[in-house]
Amino acid sequence: MQYRTLGRTGVQVSTLVLGAMNFGAIGRTSQHEATAIVHAALDGGVNLIDTADMYSQGGSEEMVGKAIAGRRDDVVLATKAAMPMGDERNHRGSSRRWLFTALDDSLRRLGVDHVDLYQIHRWDPATSDEETLSALTDLQRAGKIRYFGSSTFPAYRIVQAQWAAREHHLRPYVTEQPSYSVLQRGIEAHVLPVADEYGLGVLAWSPLASGWLSGAVRAGRDVSTHRSVVLPERFDTSIPSNRARLDAVERLAAVADEAGLTLIQLALGFVTAHPAVTSAIIGPRTVEHLSSQLAAADTVLSPDVLDAIDTIVAPGVDLAAHEKFDTPPALLDPALRRR
């Protein structure tokens, strides 16, 4: 396993991070399975675990907390807040009122007195940067969080938040967690350069493109079993963008074979090769999945392989732009772009 400094925090983290989104109802993973995955990951050199309050509505945090019992000091523990937690209108977002409550709930579920990294899961357009950063700064000073970061923020919001922190003499975000893979390279044009400019640690989620780069989705195979609970159309090959992804996967698999790598090694090695990326977040549902992903821990792609990837999916290009999660609200809501 390789280790890198998380932004400018001085904290050393593994280049592969264990993501716990599949723990609980989402991935249908039991506590026994989750504990086995966590222990195997830690034994394999992973030292950062990432979860969120909304994963299985708290179920993931509870499983992670039980799994790390007795090994807390070995773990850089990260969680997130801001996504809806139930139907109550104020049980979401990044207001001071909600973040104080949400963090206490997360600490209780995790069974710890602090988290190392607390992340705002999505930018909340209803709340000012000053409000959110002030709350996070106070939580940091109270010792409940060590650092805080953002997740899936558009580049301009990352810049705005850094400005707000300086303007109001508050602590800034020190990390960003964007979606990034061989098939979704759009952030290379904006988010990654901005993160690099501000010295942010970057934890890339979905490096296997939600399973497209796992090796299981190939031409001529029935892909219906891979349908996502969150986005069931993600593997519908009648959609042009999915056909483009399938074609790219076949070409990438050939590059991997020629280099003596698995497709997973190629995909994870690509993400961690970017100078602005600290780590790639893997989200195994089984110990077997974890083992195949840990095999990429020390993968270093040669310049020839990286060049070959660029000819298949050009730098800065998203093959499924409609699946982006950092689209500015004004592009999604007509009311925000019309008088």
Residue 300 maps to a domain? yes
| CB distance 236 to 229 below 8 Å | no
> With 0-12 CB in 10 A as exposed, 13-18 as middle and 19+ as buried, what is 54?
buried
Q: Are 6 and 201 in contact, with CB atoms under 8 Å apart?
A: yes
Residue 160 lies in a domain: yes
Give the CA distances from residue 174 to residues 116, 179, 195, 198, in Å, rounded to whole numbers and listed in that order: 12, 17, 9, 8
Total-model pTM: 0.93
Q: Which residues pair with 205 in a beta bridge?
A: 179
Q: What is the pLDDT along the chain (339 residues), one digit of tens a residue?
A: 999 999 999 999 999 999 999 999 999 999 999 999 999 999 999 999 999 999 999 999 999 999 999 999 999 999 999 999 999 999 999 999 999 999 999 999 999 999 999 999 999 999 999 999 999 999 999 999 999 999 999 999 999 999 999 999 999 999 999 999 999 999 999 999 999 999 999 999 999 999 999 988 877 666 655 555 456 677 787 788 889 999 999 999 999 999 999 999 999 999 999 999 999 999 999 999 999 999 999 999 999 999 999 999 999 999 988 887 777 777 878 888 887
Looking at the domain assignment, is residue 151 inside a domain?
Answer: yes
In CATH, what number is assigned to the domain containing residue 284?
A: 3.20.20.100
Domain count, the chain: 1
- Inside any domain, residue 312: yes
Residue type, 266: L
The range of the structural domain enclosing residue 219 comes to: 3-334
Q: What separation in angstroms does the CA of 139 have from each of 25, 146, 203, 232, 306?
A: 30, 9, 22, 38, 42
Within a domain: 297: yes
Catalytic residue among 3, 55, 118, 156: 55
Catalytic annotation on 55? Answer: yes
Closest CA to 62 of 34, 90, 43: 34
* Residue 78 lies inside a defined structural domain of this protein: yes
